[in-house]
């Protein structure tokens, strides 16, 4: 009966370790022109009657990929947005984004600068571009195997909007290396960047050690 008690202890300890190591699998945050988190030129920031909000939610899918959702909303100037650029790493490819709605403009990531339709952008960024499908509130959804890190966004307005970007987007731009969290770090936005690295956590390593100990114990019992 001793080995059964041992296995029960292993199961209970495993459940405890898994519960301790389980961290948040979703993050959310927002930036606004009212709190200085968003800045830019012309209509969106010049008129105090316009309160623009850019919010995001990043949640891990069951297959360990990530679902990214971004919402661009401007009070009093709704719908006046031409396109949105979301930064990614330079190694990001078309295979790293799927279920995108609206579809990525141009079919995949590329360099975006003032010279190709992004006037007053602080500096050129590599990323994905989404055209606004004439909606009053622009919502962008997509999935990616890339983990969330801190990066930048740029929005080009229509006749009234002007240009808008996160206040942390400067030239030269230095993105925070802090891990993902709720809210924002230094006026930056969570964007898909580094690839998923399936590195065993300390808890997983402990479970492996416990499992090996259980197998060794049972083998000894059989020999004895």
**114-135, pLDDT tens digit by residue?**
888 888 899 999 999 999 876 6
pTM of the model: 0.76
60-101 pLDDT, tens digit per residue, is 999 999 999 999 887 655 556 789 999 999 999 999 999 999
Average pLDDT, the chain: 78
Q: List pLDDT tens digits, range 151-200.
A: 999 988 766 667 889 999 998 888 999 999 999 999 999 999 987 644 44
144 pLDDT tier (thresholds 50, 70, 90): very high
How big is the CA angle at 114 (ends 124 and 32), to the nearest 5 degrees?
75
């Amino acid at each position: 009966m001793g080995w059964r008690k041992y296995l029960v202890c292993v199961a209970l300890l495993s459940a405890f370790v898994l519960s301790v190591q389980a961290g948040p699998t979703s993050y959310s945050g927002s930036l606004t022109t009212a709190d200085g988190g968003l800045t830019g030129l012309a209509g969106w920031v010049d008129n105090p009657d316009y309160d623009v909000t850019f919010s995001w939610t990043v949640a891990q899918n069951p297959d360990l990929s990530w679902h990214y959702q971004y919402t661009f909303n401007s009070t009093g100037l709704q719908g006046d947005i031409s396109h949105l650029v979301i930064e990614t790493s330079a190694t990001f490819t078309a295979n790293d984004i799927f279920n995108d709605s609206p579809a990525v403009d141009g079919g995949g990531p590329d360099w975006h600068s003032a010279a190709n339709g992004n006037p007053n952008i602080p500096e050129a960024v590599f990323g994905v571009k989404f055209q606004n499908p004439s909606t009053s509130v622009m919502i962008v959804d997509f999935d990616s195997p890339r983990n969330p890190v801190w990066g930048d966004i740029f929005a080009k307005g229509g006749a009234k909007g002007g240009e808008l970007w996160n206040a942390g987007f400067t030239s030269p731009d230095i993105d925070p290396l802090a891990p993902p969290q709720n809210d924002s770090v230094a006026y930056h936005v969570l964007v898909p960047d580094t690839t998923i690295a399936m590195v065993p956590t300390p808890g997983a390593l402990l479970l492996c050690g416990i499992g090996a100990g259980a197998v060794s114990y049972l083998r000894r019992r059989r020999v004895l």
